[in-house]
A and B are shown apart, each in its own frame.
Chain A
Amino acid sequence: MSTYRKETVPIPVPSPITQPFWDATKEHRLLLQTCDSGHIFYYARSHCPNCLSSQLEWVEASGRGKLYSYTVAWREQSPDFAADVPYIIAAITLDEGPRMTSLLVETKPEDVEIDGAVELVWDDVSPEISMPYFRPVAKVGAA
């Protein structure tokens, strides 16, 4: 049962490398990876894309970031998402640096602001996986 979508498919299929990432989503924790040189990256990999180190650890993201870009899907382009249009697909630059794709929820297309602050929300789409989505951070002083 999804909070933000009409359907709960398609859902990600974890691989050996991505399994810890998706496992953590059940606990509503968004995981990034960091290497022994301190590079932080998303998505899950076997080696750091900056220095190729394989000495990696998982770190939890703050869940805060800025909207880098977005598109409003006004027209159904897949039957899986037909019931959800219009919906807002987003590229989020996390405060930690990495950029990820997600859905922008709890807002309207006309209110979206590029570079605006966003925060993580979770959508429990299956017993195994929750999806990390984002919503705009309410502005201080806004009604």
Chain B
Amino acid sequence: MTFRNKTAIAGIGETEFSKNSGRSTLHMACEAILAALADAGLQPNDIDGIIKMSANDDIQEIDLLRSLGLSNLRVFHDVPHGGGAACGTVTGAARAIAAGAADVIVCFRSLNERSERRFGYSKVGGGVGGYMAYNIPMGFVTPAQWVAMFGQRYLHDFGWTTEEFGHLAILIRKHASTNPHAMMYNREIDMEDYLNARWITEPLRLFDCTLDTDGACAVVVVSAEKAKQLKSQPAYIAGAAQGTGSRTQMMTSYQRPSISTLEEATATANEVYRIAELDPSRIDQANLYDHFTPMVLMTLESYGFAPRGKAPDLVRSGRLGLDGDLPLNPHGGHLGDGYLHGFSHILEGVRQIRGTANNQVKRSVKTTLATSGTGVPTSAIILSSEAY
């Protein structure tokens, strides 16, 4: 017996996404959490759990306790490893509620990654310890560079060119272009734009890379029974899982047998399908972590939507469009909507199930998949419109 469909996302909330929020991450976190509570028809005092991901964000539970006037948390965790944690927070909430440890758990992400602390540029200075002593002094400083190494080997192993990354970037930016919430609203790109854009770290060009973003997202997780009594349509948590791979470092796990596949994504896929008792053919719509295009190709393969090395064929097939049978990142993902480290993908899944998305896909959506950061220990959830 698992916790399949024992819990649900009952409320979602988010701020605008921008290049300069003009307010603190704590301020935005409170806005997103209050919006999620209002969406569910709950009050701050109903919260008895907070599960967060804190990489590059210094908000503590106690800050939220003070700010939201709370006093009694029964469950509080922090999920590690950057963007890999996003679905892991919801996974932790689902497990805790199914175990009877809490009733209303809030999960959130709040970032001023564009205006305060950018991932894509970092001063290192004097000395580096730990295993990064073997990476950073080699000029190996940013996530884009760490991911580029995976992408380069992927192209080599399967005989593709960077145009395949381009087709994916163009598709996701097309989705963003019709979403008014997206940072890249009305800013579609074509292959000429893609190929003419500057290299960031070859084989990654500008449009292969996510957008450093300010913003916040939050969800409220409750039991399935409680969700039925609340204001908004529940998105039942059919499956939720975390996973790791071999010889793991933070995005530099090059000592593995192969880096043209994502071991932790494959492990997480197997587990989330096991919990949900589904296979990939049952996923109606996917919101895959897209900080860099090559990792999305490998994620499509890890989650069983394409054979290994064949994801570019799937991208070119048209099946991932808004009118396709497996619409991918209808909100415009991290490449076009904004980079909320996997959290915006969770919210989009809920909206697609409710039928309230800005880019509501053409097909009916009963199940959605959201995946979190790649190249790091990661996580995924499957949401369902019915508690099957």
Which segment, of A31-39, A55-63, A99-107, faces chain B? A99-107
Scan residues 319-353 of chain B and give those whose CB is less than 8 A from a CB of chain A: none
Closest Cβ–Cβ distance, residue B98 to chain A (whole Å): 35
In-complex Cβ contact of B125 among A74, A80, A98, A125 (8 A): A80
- B139 lies within 8 A of A73 (CB): yes
Complex Cα spacing A101 to B201, Å: 16
Does chain B have a CB within 8 A of A122? Answer: no
Scan residues 49-106 of chain A and give those whose CB is less than 8 A from a CB of chain B: 49, 68-81, 84, 87, 89, 91, 98-103
Of chain B, the residue at the smallest CB distance from A81 is B139
- A89 lies within 8 A of B145 (CB): yes
- B135 lies within 8 A of A101 (CB): yes
- A89 lies within 8 A of B138 (CB): yes
**How many residues does chain B have at the interface if contact means C-beta atoms less than 8 Å apart?**
42
- B254 lies within 8 A of A78 (CB): no
Does chain B have a CB within 8 A of A10? Answer: yes
With a cutoff of 8 Å between Cβ atoms, the chain B residues found around residue A72 in the complex are 199, 201-202
Of chain B, the residue at the smallest CB distance from A125 is B137
**A13-B133, A84-B139, A101-B140 known; A73-B145 Cβ under 8 A:** yes
Which segment, of B18-26, B116-124, B222-230, B262-270, faces chain A? B116-124
Scan residues 1-25 of chain A and give those whose CB is less than 8 A from a CB of chain B: 5, 9-15, 18
In-complex Cβ contact of A79 among B123, B129, B144, B203 (8 A): B123
- A13 lies within 8 A of B134 (CB): no
**A70-B149, A77-B121 known; A10-B128 Cβ under 8 A:** yes
Does chain A have a CB within 8 A of B281? Answer: no
- A77 lies within 8 A of B254 (CB): no
Does chain A have a CB within 8 A of B115? Answer: no
- B144 lies within 8 A of A101 (CB): no
- B137 lies within 8 A of A131 (CB): yes
Does chain A have a CB within 8 A of B127? Answer: yes
Complex Cα spacing A49 to B156, Å: 28
3 cross-chain pairs, A with B, having the tightest CB-CB distances, nearest first: A71-B148, A12-B133, A72-B202
Tell me the A residues contacting B by CB distance below 8 Å: 5, 9-15, 18, 42-43, 49, 68-81, 84, 87, 89, 91, 98-103, 109, 114-115, 125, 131
Tell me the B residues contacting A by CB distance below 8 Å: 120-131, 133-142, 144-145, 148-150, 152-153, 156, 198-204, 247, 252, 254-255, 259
